[in-house]
Structure 1
């Protein structure tokens, strides 16, 4: 009998291959014109296909590019679009599969066999070909950089071609490692896109890629305008409704994030984009928890099994969120609900699943281990840390270095709190400080609205327990610089300031907490009752 994890794997991965039904061109997808040498009838289909592609509607875009080929079988650029579809979401974490590389190369070869009609079109195809020269994980970043450089050359040769500039900018943002804190490539990408957005304000790719280019803590404010416009430009694309919440999450605009993801999840459900629906739900739950709307969050926690049960292989569609985003959300949502509310018993009782995605499994083990450590169930905490070490090693063997690093941070954090539970205070603080240094050197993946618990926030809570409120306050304030309006950091900053005798800071952060939680449940969390009493 097929176990639940295997069934879920089939359902989620089937979205990438299921038979699609072509969309009507009456959709609201924004305005795109990508000039080609294809027939006039095919050109109309091509513009529609590229509009879908710019919003990462990969299943529908594939249908649209196939419609181009039906209209003009010699339209080589249709295979360019299919080649980018095989690469899928350029910001999805992890290594592209060998199957993707083979399929992408096949699309490029099919295009080149048609002898593209213009030098410009050959430039687009030769650029995409660089993504598919080799299936090995070790060369993935080099291949992305080669694609970026080829798009830079193409854009320079054709300065009148806005699409070349747009895809060059997208390649710049894609090529920047999460460890690069200069953001030189993202800033360059943003500058290109912002200039074009003034000229083409209804272009979906421009709004979309500005959000991606600035999807870092220190740049996100630059994307707020694009975020507020993107969903209106392409309201028929579920991802266009969700993507603004990446910016809203970064800047702490929780109610806008909630509204964005309510709309996105509903649209994704209607279109059977299961990964996108679960991904939007994870972001929505996170926003509810930051505003202490716990009843709404719990409703979604309880809804996840129903989402899984209604998945239908034959009607599944490929959207922006890859299958792993579905696994990640399924693990993250209950973990967040327990940890954000500091319900340690609920966290400790989580039963982790075994899935094909080790870093998704790690979310459950982290929550379980943290719950055990906070309840002083030291053996359980050490067991979770050991499991995280095995998941880290598995990710290393899969050459998923970024995720191996993220799981290592989680392992160190659990170990730190286990040491504290065991009375080893100095060792605990040292380990938590190590976790802070590791986390400061990287950034969150786009698949998650945030870590289950930021390392500096955890260090602040540890220092509070050790009777060091002033040092704790410093850590909470630093957390807020990266995670503005985050509930636990705001409360920590206020409470630690109160204990340290800093009434000015205490009143400031308690007031900010109450403002952030103006939609909170009543009577609500004890932290809000404390804030109201100040």
Structure 2
């Protein structure tokens, strides 16, 4: 049961211009206002508008409703190959991980094969179908990244051959994002996508995919300000799509615009709950907790966590659900330096190592920060074991992130033993490794950036000058973070 004050805030977040009418316009929970799409196909004229609507849903990552919409098109026109292209595309999640979920791969493959079998006469449509068939080709030896790279190349060819096809340009841009490396701090593919999408955004300001993918392409410290116009616009383009209401907060978070982020995620949480989108609801709640913590609104953050805990049994096989449910309590405990609370945290039952590592890290920090260095070392060892398992499974990104968490715990345990130099060296190592990686869209950022922790460590060692430099570096990457601001203020007052 949602607390009355929280319920009021959720309702207020959803009372922007037109929202109430759009909620009345829903057809059994499927949103009606989704932006403007014109994607001409050679199927029966009667399915053209329903197909456009299905593509609009797809662009806002409303995968469940999009599947229903494309299936309706296929039923109305059994010869419509592009309906099966659309169905296959709902099983490809280009900026999420994994992009091709193993549990639904066979479903996407079946739809791609049906699209190939139907073979439309239009060469342009065959290009789309060829590209999605590469994603789902029947070759078990192919790695997911080989599939997405082949798809990107096919979409590049289609976009080049059909420069007047708006959707080809947009789908090529998001194909680039599907292959953007988290270790590429030059953001080369993101900048390629921005170069495609920028002029399109000016020419087609009500297209949901253009605004959406501009936000994803700009979701970095370097590019965030470039995505602000799209962030301000996207929610008004597709206000009935929960993800469209949430996505602006990726940019707001990057820029430290906490009140904007709170409004965005309150609206998204309410819309996702109304549509039964549990993953979208929890994702918005996690970003909401993060923003509440940065503004000192711990009471509100704790109420969000209480609402999460009151939800029916959550599916820990869904990474986004598992991540949000594990991260929210950790954010409040660690950022508030509630060390006894942090020590008591445990991983959600059934969560993967990449998620379970977060509360284990919090426990290790709590033990180290209360002087229990040996017990903290035991948690660091647990994290190293998780890191090893993740590497063995081939999940190198989360293995690297888990290794960073282990090093942070080790640094604080070393500090608890009075070894200032050793602690500083470990935390600098963690900060450098974290700086070399981008965050995944699943999270607003590290619970506490390693660079910020380095500042805290140096303050504890009575080294205000180096501490101030560390906090300033942290703020350059994550403007407006409360811990870095307070730390920088404390360091500046004690030169």
TM-score normalised per structure 1: 0.85
Q: Which residue of 2 aligns with 1:518?
A: none
Measure how far apart 1:228 and its partner are. 0.9
Q: Which residue of 1 aligns with 2:282?
A: 278
Of residues 33-42 and 136-145 in structure 1, the stretch that sits farther from structure 2 once superposed is 136-145
CA gap of 1:293–1:99, structure 2 versus 1, over 3 A, is: closer
Measure how far apart 1:103 and its partner are. 2.1
Kindly indicate whether the alpha-carbon contact (under 8 Å) linking 2:29 and 2:275 is maintained by their aligned counterparts in 1: no
Q: Which residue of 2 aligns with 1:83?
A: 88
Matches within 5 A, 1:211-290: 211-290=215-294
Pairing partner for 1:33 from 34, 38, 53? 38
Q: Which residue of 1 aligns with 2:463?
A: 468
Matches within 5 A, 1:425-504: 425-500=420-495
Alpha-carbon displacement from aligned partner over 1:280-328 (angstroms, at most 9, x marks no partner): 000000000001111111111222111235x7x9xxxxxxx99211110
Measure how far apart 1:24 and its partner are. 7.7
Q: Which residue of 2 aligns with 1:129?
A: 133
Of residues 224-233 and 353-362 in structure 1, the stretch that sits farther from structure 2 once superposed is 353-362
Q: Which residue of 2 aligns with 1:43?
A: 48
Higher RCO structure, 1 or 2 (CA under 8 Å, sep 6+): 1
Kindly indicate whether the alpha-carbon contact (under 8 Å) linking 2:30 and 2:275 is maintained by their aligned counterparts in 1: no
2:77 matches 1:72:
yes
Q: Which residue of 2 aligns with 1:520?
A: none
d(CA) in 1 for partners of 2:194, 2:67: 28
d(CA) in 1 for partners of 2:481, 2:143: 37
Kindly indicate whether the alpha-carbon contact (under 8 Å) linking 2:91 and 2:100 is maintained by their aligned counterparts in 1: no
Pairing partner for 2:397 from 387, 396, 402? 402
Pairing partner for 1:339 from 330, 334, 338? 334
d(CA) in 2 for partners of 1:232, 1:189: 22
Q: Which residue of 1 aligns with 2:195?
A: 191
TM-score normalised per structure 2: 0.92
Alpha-carbon displacement from aligned partner over 1:174-222 (angstroms, at most 9, x marks no partner): 2110111111211121121111111111111111010011111110110
d(CA) in 2 for partners of 1:59, 1:269: 14
d(CA) in 1 for partners of 2:201, 2:156: 19
SS at match of 1:308: coil
2:134 matches 1:139:
no
CA gap of 1:305–1:136, structure 2 versus 1, over 3 A, is: farther
Question: Following TM superposition, where does structure 1 have runs of at least 4 consecutive aligned residues deviating by more than 4 angstroms?
Answer: 21-26, 134-138
Q: Which residue of 2 aligns with 1:210?
A: 214
d(CA) in 1 for partners of 2:280, 2:317: 8
- Report the RMSD for the aligned CA atoms in angstroms: 1.9
Measure how far apart 1:135 and its partner are. 6.9
Q: Which residue of 1 aligns with 2:6?
A: none
Pairing partner for 2:381 from 379, 383, 386? 386
2:57 matches 1:52:
yes
SS at match of 1:414: helix
Q: Which residue of 2 aligns with 1:512?
A: none
Alpha-carbon displacement from aligned partner over 1:331-388 (angstroms, at most 9, x marks no partner): 0000000111111121112123332421111111111111111001123211211111
Kindly indicate whether the alpha-carbon contact (under 8 Å) linking 1:242 and 1:263 is maintained by their aligned counterparts in 2: yes
d(CA) in 1 for partners of 2:283, 2:31: 27
SS at match of 2:310: helix
Measure how far apart 1:138 and its partner are. 7.0
Kindly indicate whether the alpha-carbon contact (under 8 Å) linking 2:170 and 2:197 is maintained by their aligned counterparts in 1: yes
d(CA) in 2 for partners of 1:376, 1:25: 53
Measure how far apart 1:131 and its partner are. 1.5
d(CA) in 2 for partners of 1:140, 1:119: 27
Which structure 2 segments of 5+ residues have no match? 1-25
Of residues 455-464 and 383-392 in structure 1, the stretch that sits farther from structure 2 once superposed is 383-392
CA gap of 1:478–1:450, structure 2 versus 1, over 3 A, is: same
Pairing partner for 1:371 from 366, 374, 397? 366
d(CA) in 2 for partners of 1:448, 1:492: 23
Aligned residue pair count: 470
Alpha-carbon displacement from aligned partner over 1:367-426 (angstroms, at most 9, x marks no partner): 111111100112321121111112112211221110111000000100111111122222
Kindly indicate whether the alpha-carbon contact (under 8 Å) linking 1:101 and 1:135 is maintained by their aligned counterparts in 2: no
d(CA) in 1 for partners of 2:481, 2:231: 20
d(CA) in 1 for partners of 2:52, 2:37: 6
Alpha-carbon displacement from aligned partner over 1:86-125 (angstroms, at most 9, x marks no partner): 12x3111246343433222211111111122211111001
Q: Which residue of 1 aligns with 2:12?
A: none
